[in-house]
Amino acid sequence: MAEPFAVTDAEFEEKVLNAEIPVLVDFWAEWCGPCKMIAPMVDELAEEFDGQMAFAKVDVDSNPITAVKYGIRSIPALLIFRDGQPIDQIIGAIPKGQLRKKLDSVLAS
C-alpha cells in the first residue's frame, strides 16, 4: 500500500529533489483544518498513482527551512517536483478530480 511519507528539512533533497519519479509534496500543519480535509484525498491519490509518482508530507511547523525556501505562505500547499525542480503548485483545498487531472497532465508531459 502506497502512502505519503514524511520528509524533514534534512531529508528533502535526498527524498524529493533526487527522486527518480515526480513527487507531490503536501505542505501542512497539525492545526490546519483544510490540511486535514485534503489528507484522505492525498492518501487515496498516493495509492492510485503508486509507482508513477511519489507523495511526501512536510510539516511546516517542524520543517520551516523547506517551507520558506519554496515560498509557502498559505497551507495546504501542494507542490509537484520533477528532476529536482518545482513544476506546479496548488494552494488551498481543491476537489480530488481537479487534483487528479493536474497529476495526469504532469505525468503526460
- 32 flagged as catalytic: yes
Paired strand residues for 103: none
Catalytic member of 24, 25, 35, 99: 35
Amino acid present at 67: A
Q: Nine-digit cell at 62?
A: 517542524
From residue 13, give the alpha-carbon distance in Å to each of 6, 43, 45, 66, 108. 13, 22, 23, 10, 24
Catalytic member of 23, 25, 32, 103: 32
**Which positions are annotated as active-site residues?**
32, 35
